Each structure stands twice: as C-alpha cells, then as structure tokens.
Structure 1
C-alpha cells in the first residue's frame, strides 16, 4: 500500500467487432454457454481486495561503555651529595551510554472492488492486468491502482478474482485532500527532523 499516486497509462485496443447484416442472432449478445471470463487483451475483470493487516514492531537498544586509564611515576634525582625525589599519579576516565527505543504500530483495513483491464496475454496464457479507481468525497480524493499477473484458471465464474491470487501484485491506495494534509507533519517539522542530529 503506497501513496496512491496514479500514473496515467493507455488502454489496449480490443479487436474490432466484425460488421454483420441484421439478424435475430447476434454474436455480441450473451449466450447461455459462453464463458464470461476475461481471456483476451482488452477484456475486463473485477478484482476483490480485502486487506486486514495489523503489525507491531518494537526495538530497544542499550549501549554502555566505560574506560579508565591511570599513570604513576616516581622520580629521584641526586647531584654532589644532594638529592630530590617526587611522586605523582595521573588518571583518565570516560563513560558513555546510549539508550534507544522505537515502536511502530500499524492497522489497515481495506475492502474494495476494482475493475481491471487485461493489458497483455503472455505466451504461456497468463494475463497481465491493470486497473485504477478514483473516488472523490467532498475535498478528499482517494486513488486505488492495482497491477499484476493472473492465471485464467483463477478467475471465477462471475469474472472475479481475489487479490491474493495475483502474482507480482502492485496495490497502491492513498489520496490527497484535507484529511491527508492533516495527517502529514508540517513542512517546518520535516526540515527540523532532517537537520537536527538529536
């Protein structure tokens, strides 16, 4: 699930229907024994998306380091019957400690149906599909895009397929508007997060 930026793309052109004279029977009409599933380039199928994802990540890191150094000396000097002596100690110590905690909680629930177009039929018979849906409610625009590869045998009798059966699935859902702007931090805060080292 991404930011919902829908990239424009061109739809494949379906093959032209043959021109026929007037008849009571039309091949373009639904037949009782005709397979309604999308099997050719340009056909449309419905993708059922039902996401209920919850994740909880927690990371804790504690680091502590202590170092100590001590140096002592004893010096005695003498000349012409006189002598002098001296003793001293020098020490150095350092201590560092770092504590870091991080936690991420995420909960997503998405139930949508979106129509997708068959953009390519691969040599092995698998279908490449792509679909997009935009919904505007007041000042909020929601965009859903989906793309991937499906097997014709996974398409149901009602010309539907679950997102779980889409290989290499790319699902993006997001939007822009008043609600999205409120959820984002202010531009000044974003700059400070990048500049401040702590």
Structure 2
C-alpha cells in the first residue's frame, strides 16, 4: 500500500516541478505569443511634453496650419518608430597554452659537541626538504558569427539632452518553436539616417538578444535535475 502512494507522490512532485519551469498550457500546444506592447520597457522617468495645439481649419482652406508639410520622417518623439539594422560579421580565434613547473630542494645539517662540568655530548642531525609543482593549461576559442537582421523599435523616452531610448521586440513562431528578438538602447537623433534607420553599432548601452523557447530549445538544454546537481555539486 505504501509503494503506490510513494510512486504517486513522486509523479505529483515531478508534475509540480515541471509546471514551475514551463507553462503547463504550452506543454502540448507550444509557446504562446506575448501580448503586443509587452516588450516596451521604460528605463527612465518620462518627461512631460506640452501637447501640440492644433489650429482649427478654416472653411475652404487649402493648407492646414496644424500639419507640417516638410516634417522630417525620422523618429524624434516618444512613440515614433525607428528601424534598427543588425549586421554582425565577427570571427575570433584564440589559442592559449601554459606550462609551468618548479623543483625545489633544501638540505640542512647540524653537528654539535658540548662539554659542561665534565658532561660531554656529541651528535649530528640533518633535514631534507624537496618540492615539485607542475601546472599545465590549454585553451582554445574559435568563434564565427554572421547575423543580419532588422527590427522596428519604438522610442520609449526622450532624455533631457535630446537622446532617445528605444525598445523593440519580434516573435516568430514556427510549429512549436518560438524565436524571439529583442533590442534596446540609447540613440542620438543625428545618427538616424534619412530613411529612418540606424545601425546597431551606433546604439549606446545596446542590448541585443536572439533566442527562443519551445520543444527544440528544451531539448538543447539539460534537464532541471541535471542543472540543480551541477549547481550544488562540490566537484
């Protein structure tokens, strides 16, 4: 009677632990898309902006004083959209090898002869100490990255000096796998091109992440039990 209860308890614990790591609703249906606007993260206090007063349009007027006929299409205010171009071609190769050894040997000897009040003593002693240490290390890094992406970001805030904070995200779902692209940082208005685009290397405090979640990503990662063991194992 106790054995079935133990097995049931273990199964229930496994289900609860699995639910803590993943959304139970996504186990069979796959990852769900995030709500629109959830990727906007305001990292500074918003600056109050004086609303623009729109001049009433007179009857049979050709021009509207409240519109800007020659307005620059580049993003300048909170809520405007700018396109971020990510083009990264990076290749790095590093070889490092360390070989260090040291031998040390110490010899010590002492002879004595004493004669005190008719009592004499004679002897000798010696000590020998030797050490040997050796350290070897070998490391190699061979990395190649080729990323070309573009993402639309929204101006979330305008700083006092005119620089703008941007944040953008994209989600692509293919079957049961979700690919997520996030970008954020601070840009200068002068770095935005006439086509309302900006290259990622001109973004200060740039935060670019590209990953995913779903069945494929879960298979590529070790199980939660293995990760817990690696975290607490002393060796």
**TM-score normalised by the chain length of structure 1:** 0.70
Q: For the residues of structure 2 that align with 1:190 and 1:53, how far apart are their CA atoms?
A: 34
Written as runs of structure 1 = structure 2, the 5 A alignment for 1:48-67 is 48-67=85-104
Written as runs of structure 1 = structure 2, the 5 A alignment for 1:41-190 is 41-72=78-109, 90-185=127-222, 188=226
Once structures 1 and 2 are overlaid, which stretch shifts more, 40-49 or 179-188? 179-188
Relative contact order, higher structure (CA 8 A, sep 6+): 1
Q: For the residues of structure 2 that align with 1:76 and 1:145, how far apart are their CA atoms?
A: 85
Q: How many residues of Structure 1 are paired with residues of Structure 2 in the alignment?
A: 185
Structure 2: any 5+ residue segments left out of the alignment? 1-33
Structure 1: any 5+ residue segments left out of the alignment? 1-5
Shift of 1:95: 1.0
Q: For the residues of structure 2 that align with 1:77 and 1:34, how far apart are their CA atoms?
A: 108
Once structures 1 and 2 are overlaid, which stretch shifts more, 108-117 or 54-63? 54-63
RMSD: 4.0
Shift of 1:128: 1.4
Contact 2:102 2:134 in 1 (8 A): yes
**TM-score normalised by the chain length of structure 2:** 0.60
Contact 2:83 2:151 in 1 (8 A): yes
Shift of 1:104: 2.2
Quickly say closer, same or farther: Cα 1:166–1:84, change in 2 above 3 A: closer
Quickly say closer, same or farther: Cα 1:142–1:21, change in 2 above 3 A: farther
Shift of 1:84: 10
